Amino acid sequence: MIITALQYICIIGLTLLLIMLANKIRIAYPIMLIVCGLLVSFVPYFPSFSIDPELIFVIFLPPLLYEAAWYTSWKELWRWRRVIGSFAFLIVLVTSLVVALVASSIIPGFTLALGFLLGGIVSPPDAVSAAAILKYVKVPRRMASIIEGESLLNDASSLIVFRFALIAVSTGRFVFHEAVVSFFWVIIAGIAIGIAIGYLFFYIHKLLPTDDNTDIALTIITPYVMYITAEMIHVSGVLAVVSGGLFLSAKSHLFLSHSSRLKGASVWSALGFILNGLVFILIGLELPIIIKGLDGISLRAAIGYGVVITAILMVARILCAIGASFFTVFISRFITTADPRPGLKAPLIFGWAGMRGVVSLAAALSIPIVTNNSAPFPQRNLILFITFIVILLTLVVQGLTLPKLIRLLKMEDPDHFLSEEEQEAEVARRLAEKSRRFLQHEYSEEINANPVLHFLEAKWKQGEDMNKDHQLQDDFKNASLKLIEKQRDWLHKWNEDIVIDDAVIRKYLMLLDMEEEQLKLKYR
């Protein structure tokens, strides 16, 4: 037990070191983790790791999906709903069909049902990989929003395809109209359960006497309740978590205090960071066990099948993206679309941003060892190996070349939004103006008589002036940061005084941290 715990501690330590190295050399950390995990797995005497699919589906997946949904813009998600919906559902089905046809044609003993099973596994791109790669390149906001929204929903559709294909392989029975009805039921019921549980936790937070710690603990419990409840009645746990997360995120200002939101953001950031890192390095460490399972199939042939399926996925996604662009141009003649002229640059970038990851491997690992007839599940080990090859090649090939493709195409932002700095300045200007007018309206008599209120009104008046003069901003920021550093020194010195409680000093140190963070965010 102690040895196992030490092994996982070593893996966490290795994960952190590799992420720091990836950030230093500006490579997306999923690529670094999966490649290094693969290399480490071949080190003699290094223990083999077998990933339990329940570990990913039940422990890892709910919080990762919930965090992604929490920070997703509902406004952008709704604006690009048609594109996101087509890629998250329709194109996942098309990709699964193409993979099924190719796999059943080139792999001996592979039926169409097994092909659909493989297609459902490898069809969804990974959200974490795309987000990590896009961090190092500048892309139009619409593209980031579409990739983000698609990744939230395509896991659900691919797992639904996987579920129906698994039933067909295990039972030898597939009824099309029953599958269609079940497909819509799984989607609608999953969304409904997520929103219903979201309402439940909304009122738990709002009505019970919670504090910061209980609020954060409840937010950690919430995605697990959503996912497990949905899966228990055989509907989409992924959609339950996503819909519930979107709902609670939009209402967070109504049931969470500012301190709960501030502390919760830090906790969730660290939790997501560790979980994402662990998953990718465990994928790399899994390879030796997958290779050992290739009984009766040569390693060379299995690699060849994996390369072909990967190429099919890449080409199919690009063609679907280009086809969606042409369809948008056509349909915009009859209905209003968000962008009637999407062009070809965006589809090329979007099509190439199709790295596979966590959900694909978890789905492959969850294939049962035997069918309902107690016979060995056909081609299980080969499906596992092909899935690993797809994840590895898409991460390394597409992941390393996507930033270069984006720079090569030099895609400009077609929406012509203000820059981030200009948006921040505009928001600050409006906030200062509105705040000063509010104070003058509500406290017109008190401002002159009360020095504190007068100071508050003058502060926002100065804020208006500072937004017009960047030199004033820089001087104010530099002076404030120096003052904060001196205040920290004073507080640490005063902490030696036995009269002043250590808790009081820690409180003021935390306030200084918050003030410094606010300064860096406002005047960065």
pLDDT score for 152? 77
Confidence band of 27 (pLDDT split at 50, 70, 90): confident
In sequence order, which ranges of 208-298 are alpha helices (DSSP H)?
A: 212-232, 237-255, 258-285, 287-292
What type of residue is 42? F
Give the Å distances, CA to CA, from 263 to 9, 211, 214, 260. 25, 11, 11, 5
pLDDT score for 258? 76
**Mean pLDDT (whole number) for 285-299:** 76
**Mean pLDDT (whole number) for 95-106:** 90
**Mean pLDDT (whole number) for 450-456:** 71
How much is the mean pLDDT over the chain?
80
Distance of alpha carbon 508 from alpha carbon 102, whole angstroms:
64
**Mean pLDDT (whole number) for 202-230:** 93
pLDDT score for 218? 95
**Mean pLDDT (whole number) for 351-374:** 79
**Mean pLDDT (whole number) for 98-108:** 90
Tokens of 393: 């090649």
Higher pLDDT, 57 or 310: 310
- The answer for residues whose C-beta is within 8 angstroms of residue 158's C-beta and 6 or more apart is 92, 96, 120, 121, 123, 124, 359, 363
pLDDT score for 2? 46
Q: Is the pLDDT of residue 464 over 80?
A: no
**Mean pLDDT (whole number) for 34-44:** 77
pLDDT above 70: percentage of residues in the chain = 84
Lowest mean per-residue pLDDT among 14-18, 369-373, 379-383: 369-373
pLDDT score for 417? 61
Q: Say whether domain 30-409 belongs to CATH 1.25.40.20.
A: no
What are the tens digits of pLDDT across the range 169-183? 776 665 566 667 777
Q: Is the pLDDT of residue 257 over 50?
A: yes
**Mean pLDDT (whole number) for 224-236:** 91
Domain ranges of the chain: 30-409, 420-522
Estimate to the nearest angstrom the gap between the alpha carbon of 282 and the chain centroid: 18
pLDDT score for 3? 44
Q: Is the pLDDT of residue 366 over 60?
A: yes
